[in-house]
Chains A and B, each alone.
Chain A
Amino acid sequence: EVQLVETGGGLIQPGGSLRLSCAASGFTVSGNYMSWVRQAPGKGLEWVSVIYGGGNTYYADSVKGRFTISRDSSKNTLFLQMNSLRVEDTAVYYCAKWRGGIFDLWGQGTLVTVSS
């Protein structure tokens, strides 16, 4: 079955760090463009980051310099390392397969709450 499963969310204090994981099955993470999209509580969707098949990475301005997207081909897993977290980073984080700029497969999401 083709699916994505995110883990790693939780409650973290402002300024802290967290690493999200997204395990893929039914296809290879390294053979596809993969992305993270987030959704603040009760709000809309915001694209966060993408990693291309060749390894190039790109970020939204709101997270540039603080978040790092990466992957592990041996584990077929996508990661999002989040540093210097802010209250406004509180959201459900989804990993998604990127197809030509659209998101055609999504995980179930993992909630990150940044609060003191």
Chain B
Amino acid sequence: DIQMTQSPSTLSASVGDRVTITCRASQSISDWLAWYQQKPGKAPKLLIYKASSLESGVPSRFSGSGSGTEFTLTISSLQPDDFATYYCQQYNSFSRTFGQGTKVEIK
């Protein structure tokens, strides 16, 4: 299976900060990468697919980039609603795998 590794595991930030989360794949996945946001006790929500395509209804402060093995999720100006855990997911191989998650917490 393709392993997905996110960094950092936890990130402390303030409202208004620019935040970047990195996701690395154990082998090339082209741009078959998605990002999800999950709040405590809630289901994940799709934010980004195909590495950089914004899902309908997702605020434009979220953006994704990368290809091959290294990807980033950027929040341009962190809002109170954005404090959550973020997961990347590859869909290059049939067995879809997720990163371990990055928790964005209030500084």
Contacts and interface: CB of A to CB of B under 8 A. Distances in A.
Interface of A: 44-47, 58, 60-61, 94, 100-104, 106-109
B87 interface: yes
A106 B49 CA distance: 15
A104 B46 contact: yes
Interface of B: 32, 34, 36, 42-46, 49, 55, 87, 89, 91, 94-101
B5 to A, nearest CB: 11
Nearest to B33: A102
A66 to B, nearest CB: 17
B101 A102 contact: no
* Most B Cβ at <10 Å: residue of A47, A58, A60: A47
Nearest to B1: A61
Contacts of A108: 42-43
Given A44-B101, A45-B87, A58-B94, A101 B43 contact: no
A60 to B, nearest CB: 7
Contacts of A61: 95
B23 to A, nearest CB: 12
Contacts of A106: 43-45
A46 B43 contact: no
Nearest to B35: A102
A21 B28 CA distance: 36
Contacts of B46: 102-104
Contacts of A102: 34, 46, 49, 89, 91
16 contacts: A44-B98, A44-B101, A47-B95, A61-B95, A94-B43, A100-B91, A101-B96, A102-B46, A102-B49, A102-B91, A103-B34, A103-B36, A104-B49, A104-B55, A107-B43, A108-B42
What are the 3 closest A-B residue pairs judged by CB atoms, nearest first? A101-B91, A106-B43, A45-B98
